[in-house]
Structure 1
């Protein structure tokens, strides 16, 4: 009988995700915690679990960038054919906020003043009888009114970067409801 190595990988990933989550909880307050489930193929499960084992996050660190009080920056990600928040993978030795800041500069060509954590999205990853989870930190930042984004992604995944008013966020925006909930949350403060 052979033991499935995915079980061990999933367990190691879960442990790393818990460490990353607790580190975020200690360093930040008043952030949203949405939960998403992704059912994936066995190969994709292995890829995502390997990422989580290495960094605690399956999709890296992201930024919700505001300009004025009612505009948000989105980038067009060709790999998923959707508008998304700028962000991506965490390099070895890099913190989540540093990764989010680097990815913002790479994908949208702007810099911003970072605040705290906007969201810590729990991503439950499932494949057959295997499951694990990872955290996706999303930081909040402010850009100046003069900030003009430009897509110049070295990975060539991002084809456009644009400001949208909160009420005009495209229907094909990943996790659109989470973004709307966050804007409602900060409006109540």
Structure 2
């Protein structure tokens, strides 16, 4: 009874923050189960999953990060490579979808990393993007709830470890680590 009353109280909030809190609670509660279902599906239909992400740097070397609605933390923009798509096609598509970023030059391949945190079959290609156009920051939506350019020395506290590693490799010359972490 207490749980139901507490949940109803949150739903009755009419401010945006209250809605986000309810969605965040639901996401945290069901994320492990949903992730298992997706991984089972991927295992059945795909032998390996591929992703493309980018370290997008502006003229001041600030890095563009995104915050998803379905996982906690700040990430490099990017996503899965679809059947029939190249890494660069996927990167272009994801940068437009997540950040309204249009590449105006060729990105540089930073590395390909094994992402065992997601699945033993997942691999992510990371590119460095310095030449791009962005007319404005995107509006929050169902997938991306926040975006921004951040000083690498002052990243948000909940920036993921893998994201921090890739940024340090690109900007600080740290040695590449083959796993995403």
Spell out the pairing of 1:68-87 with structure 2 (5 A cutoff).
Answer: 68-87=59-78
Determine the structure 1 residue equivalent to 2:55.
64
SS at match of 2:90: helix
Do the aligned partners of residues 173 and 46 (structure 1) sit closer, same or farther apart at CA in structure 2, a change above 3 Å counting? same
More divergent stretch after superposition (142-151 vs 81-90):
142-151
For 1:115, which of 82, 107, 110 is the aligned residue? 107
Aligned-pair RMSD on alpha carbons? 3.0
TM-score, with length taken from structure 1: 0.61
Distance 2:115 2:151 in 1: 27
1:179 counterpart = 2:167: yes
Distance 1:148 1:91 in 2: 27
Distance 1:51 1:96 in 2: 19
Do the aligned partners of residues 139 and 124 (structure 1) sit closer, same or farther apart at CA in structure 2, a change above 3 Å counting? same
Do the aligned partners of residues 123 and 148 (structure 1) sit closer, same or farther apart at CA in structure 2, a change above 3 Å counting? same
Higher RCO (CA < 8 A, seq sep 6+): 1
Determine the structure 1 residue equivalent to 2:120.
132
The answer to whether the Cα contact below 8 Å between 1:61 and 1:88 also exists between their aligned partners in 2 is yes
Q: Please, which runs of 5 or more residues in structure 2 have no aligned partner?
A: 1-32, 175-181
Q: Please, which runs of 5 or more residues in structure 1 have no aligned partner?
A: 1-39
Do the aligned partners of residues 170 and 47 (structure 1) sit closer, same or farther apart at CA in structure 2, a change above 3 Å counting? farther
Structure 1 residues 121-178: Cα deviation after superposition (integer angstroms, max 9, x where no partner): 112268xxxx83321111111145875322465xx21012211111111121122233
1:162 counterpart = 2:148: yes
The answer to whether the Cα contact below 8 Å between 2:54 and 2:91 also exists between their aligned partners in 1 is yes
Post-superposition shift, 1:90? 1.8
Determine the structure 1 residue equivalent to 2:25.
none
Q: Which has the larger radius of gyration?
A: 2
The answer to whether the Cα contact below 8 Å between 1:108 and 1:152 also exists between their aligned partners in 2 is no
**Greater strand share, structure number:** 1
TM-score, with length taken from structure 2: 0.63
